[in-house]
A and B are shown apart, each in its own frame.
Chain A
Amino acid sequence: MDPTTLIAPSSPLGYPAPYWFLVAFKVLGFTLHMIPMHIWYAGVLLAMLLHWRGGEAGRQLSRRLMQPMPVLIALGINFGIVPLLFTQVAYYKVFYPATILMAWPWVSIILLLTLAYYGVYIYVAGLRAEGAMIARWRRAIGWVTAGLFLLIGFLFSNAFSLMTNVRAWPELWLRESVGGAPLGTALNTEDPTFWPRWLMMFALAWTTTAVFILVDAEWFAHQEGPAYRTTARRVALIISTIGVLGFAFTGSWYVFGTWPEELREKMFQGPMRALTALTALSPGASWLLIFWQWRRGGTRMRAAATAAVHVLALGLNAISRQVVQNAELSRFLDVTAEPVRLQWSPLILFLVLFVLGLGIVAWMLGRLALIGSPSESG
């Protein structure tokens, strides 16, 4: 079966804004989403490991990692709405079929996320009530939560790799359907790109978590002594090293082991060559900065610079993913070729509210800056 016959016709409504606008917000939103998402993706597992095998210093670090987790999860879920929204606008022809083919695993993310989120709250409530002697059952919940986040990542990678793996749709569909209606039980695990993509995001998550530990130590760990900051820098370096090595391995596997020849040619030619190289090397920049601070000591400005460099690396990663996604899809459809019926006034109103919203958030954070860190009593 020709998989292109499964691609829906264009919406008669067209895009409500130019493609570049939609994709810019998609990439921006995904970059913002990745920051907190990475911290819970790798951070919860790391916190459990540190509590288990990290000694006194590790437990202290584990506690500091877990305490802001409820807020980070809330922000991450919220930031995730933007890329999902614009994915559905610009990539609807592949998003809906892919998620319908794996509907049960896709919908199960909601249940898994709810359980994981409450798991984090239960663990953090234990930290506040019981301190370092957190009860065994809460630790067990912490481990389960870490597993749930990994599973959620596994399912997300399945969905988003299946979006571009249009070639696999006919087989997945015909194998698991009744009267032409899919049962929604498919997974994209036979796609060779799936495994390195899933693991690459996990490896990148370790690098982000390392930067977070560093920033937290320099900016927010007022109550902790200098020994804590030294430990934090050492742990950040170890984690960042694991993450960068993992990223290099899975990235090489992905690029050289699974990309078709024409995609490799596209990504290694002309201006794309620079983008590919920067994307591959940029996590190493934050690793170098962490290494430097481990050797020379950290300051607030150094930590902030590391965070800025890392956010740039994540942004590059998001841009490259977008370029690769479009290149993979170009064999089946051209997402840039849809007609545009520009919605001027809602677009302008959105942008005005966006700026106003940022202003109000800045005002609120400004008020907090005057008083310091949050209450520990909550």
Chain B
Amino acid sequence: MHYPWWYVPFLTSPMLIAIIAVLHVLVAHYAVGGGFFLAVETQYAYRQNHREYLAYLKEHAWFFILITVVYGAITGVGIWWTIGVASPLATQTLIHIFVFGWAMEYVFFVLEIVSAFIFYYFWGRLDPRTHVRIGWIYAGSAWMSLVLITGITSFMLHSGRWPEERTFWAGFLNPQFVPQVLARTGGAFLLASLYVYLHAAFKAGGSALRDLIAVRSARPALLGSLLIILGGIGWYLTLPESAKAALVAASTLNILVVLLFAVTIAVFFMLYLGPYRHPGWLSPGFAILFFTFGLVAITTGEYIREAVRKPYIIYNVVLGNQIYAEKVPELRRTGYLEGGTWTKAWVSHHYPQVSNNGRIDPARLLALPEDDQVKLGEVLFLHHCNDCHAGRRGFSPVAQLIRGWTPDMVRTVVEHPEKAHFFMPPWAGTPEEAELLTKYLLRIAHPRPAGMYFGEERKP
């Protein structure tokens, strides 16, 4: 509420974060797991003096650079871009708490970039020992960047002791940290193997080489699956109660959790029965199917991880609608429009008559003409609700959700959204402002769908 709210019709601006984040995560895990794959397998190929495998690994390293250094790096920066414009208060908070975490991650980024390019561009010119060492520098740096960013993203789901202690480490070493590092490390190993299968199915020469790749990459994938399960259990056990409740209560999440389990089990069995026991199965079709399953599992997992945080962006610190949780009582007293930097400026500019000694007087808001009250209701909707709800149409559109509601029903939910659904943020304005929002919602609400029969006499 300290910053302007970016209005994105239909989609809502936070959905852009979700889209870019998912696109990034699909490659970011490969950037870590693929680093280990290249380091371990190059070491193995040198030891065995396996020329054909080394040639394949060089080709894979090129594919790896094109995917991770270009696409992965830019979408990583892209997340920053979008969180800054779609969720500025939470971003500001995270950056002020964890700037040195990001700065440390940056050091590892530099190591990753330099080592990745040396590993590929100086292939065949470095002695095997140095070449493998460079590969390990990449893998270690990539994993460290995973650890560092996970400390920050896991803090968003569970802020741990930070609200009391307000120190870097109290936030970084939160209850979700270790489980998420385990799960993400597992995800990196698993996803990297799926990328390897996809690439090898098309690019690896003879069937003997493909079989070797299939068997050897099944091991880290199976280890990855195990880490995902361990991390997943730890993740669930250390979830805040509201997140556990959201998993059970939200219908979308129910379905996605089942989907996640189903796909993960399918991938596990496909791994065991396919590449591990029958490496000859590794055909392009099998690899594409496998890869698709992996993408579905990762995307679903990320969506669940994001969704269970509601109503917070940072648990118990920043609410989804860009309000510090601790500021809610004050805003309920003084008013949301008064408390928001840009909302206050907008109201003062358009309706100077509602200001009294430089402050917005809530009582004067209801003295405005009806259309102006609705207009102010729209301002409240956009700044208080649009982070999760589109207006008339689009993502979770409120006009559709309240079809057929009576004014009292709308008013009750506006005044106590957190009681209607515990995963919604509380109302953070005065009763007068709630009235304005109610009027706006009633103005845009669609009527109850016609023709629905509940045993009553049909109306013509």
Contacts and interface: CB of A to CB of B under 8 A. Distances in A.
Nearest to A92: B92
Contacts of B118: 364, 367-368
Interface string B86-127: 101001110111011111101111110111011011111110
Interface stretch (A208-216, A234-242, A247-255, A340-348): A340-348
Given A361-B110, A378-B121, A113 B85 contact: no
Given A1-B349, A78-B110, A179-B379, A97 B96 contact: no
Given A89-B99, A368-B122, A107 B81 contact: yes
A147 interface: no
A54 B345 CA distance: 57
B100 A16 contact: yes
Interface of A: 1, 5-9, 11-17, 25, 70-71, 74-75, 77-78, 80-82, 84-86, 88-89, 92, 95-97, 99-101, 103, 106-107, 109-110, 113-114, 117-118, 121, 170, 173-174, 177-184, 341, 343, 345-347, 349-350, 353-354, 356-357, 360-361, 364-365, 367-368, 371-372, 374-375, 377-378
24 contacts: A1-B348, A16-B97, A16-B99, A16-B100, A25-B103, A70-B70, A81-B106, A89-B96, A96-B88, A96-B91, A97-B3, A106-B81, A107-B85, A173-B4, A179-B382, A180-B379, A181-B383, A182-B6, A347-B100, A360-B111, A361-B114, A377-B124, A378-B121, A378-B123
Given A82-B106, A180-B383, A181-B386, A364 B96 contact: no
Given A11-B96, A368-B122, A85 B106 contact: yes
Contacts, number: 227
Contacts of B80: 84
B419 interface: no
B53 interface: no
A100 B2 contact: no
B130 interface: yes
A353 B106 CA distance: 10
A117 B122 contact: no
A7 B115 CA distance: 43
Nearest to B61: A378
B85 A374 contact: no
Residue of B118, B121, B381 ringed by the most chain A CB atoms within 10 A: B121
Contact of B93 (A5, A11, A170): A11
Contacts of B5: 100, 180-182
Describe B's contact surface by its main secondary structure: helix
Contacts of B8: 184
The 4 closest A-B pairs by CB, nearest first: A8-B2, A346-B100, A181-B7, A180-B346
A113 B106 CA distance: 20
A13 B96 contact: yes
Contacts of B122: 368, 371, 374-375
A174 B349 contact: yes
Given A101-B4, A106-B85, A78 B73 contact: yes
B3 A180 contact: no
B344 interface: yes
Contact of B95 (A92, A364, A377): A92
Given A96-B92, A110-B77, A184-B85, 15 more contacts: A78-B113, A82-B103, A88-B84, A107-B78, A113-B74, A117-B70, A121-B70, A170-B345, A184-B6, A350-B100, A353-B107, A360-B137, A364-B115, A371-B125, A375-B124
B84 A99 contact: yes
A367 B100 CA distance: 30
A15 B382 contact: no
Given A375-B123, A378-B121, A81 B77 contact: yes
A89 B114 CA distance: 27
B85 A99 contact: yes
A99 B379 CA distance: 20
Nearest to B386: A181
Given A1-B345, A173-B4, A357 B107 contact: yes
Given A85-B99, A89-B95, A101-B4, A180 B343 contact: yes
B76 to A, nearest CB: 9
A40 B106 CA distance: 22
B62 interface: yes
A288 to B, nearest CB: 33
A54 B299 CA distance: 49
Residue of B71, B103, B343, B383 ringed by the most chain A CB atoms within 10 A: B103
Nearest to B376: A179
Contacts of B123: 375, 378
Interface of B: 2-8, 13, 16, 20, 62, 66, 69-71, 73-75, 77-78, 80-82, 84-86, 88, 91-93, 95-97, 99-104, 106-111, 113-115, 117-118, 120-126, 130, 134, 137, 166-169, 324, 341-346, 348-349, 375, 378-379, 381-383, 386
Contact of B382 (A14, A80, A178): A178
B341 A9 contact: yes
Contact of B3 (A5, A71, A96): A96
Contacts of B104: 346, 349-350, 353
Contacts of A86: 99
Contacts of A13: 93, 96-97, 166
A74 B93 contact: no
Contact of A184 (B7, B343, B383, B386): B7
A71 B99 CA distance: 26
A341 B100 CA distance: 13
B113 A75 contact: yes
Given A85-B106, A184-B6, A375-B123, A343 B113 contact: no
Nearest to A84: B80
Contact of B110 (A343, A346, A357): A357
A80 B113 CA distance: 13
A181 B386 CA distance: 10
A8 B3 contact: yes
B341 A179 contact: no
Given A181-B4, A181-B6, A181-B382, A375 B121 contact: yes
B107 A100 contact: no
Contacts of A100: 3-6, 85, 88
A6 B346 CA distance: 10
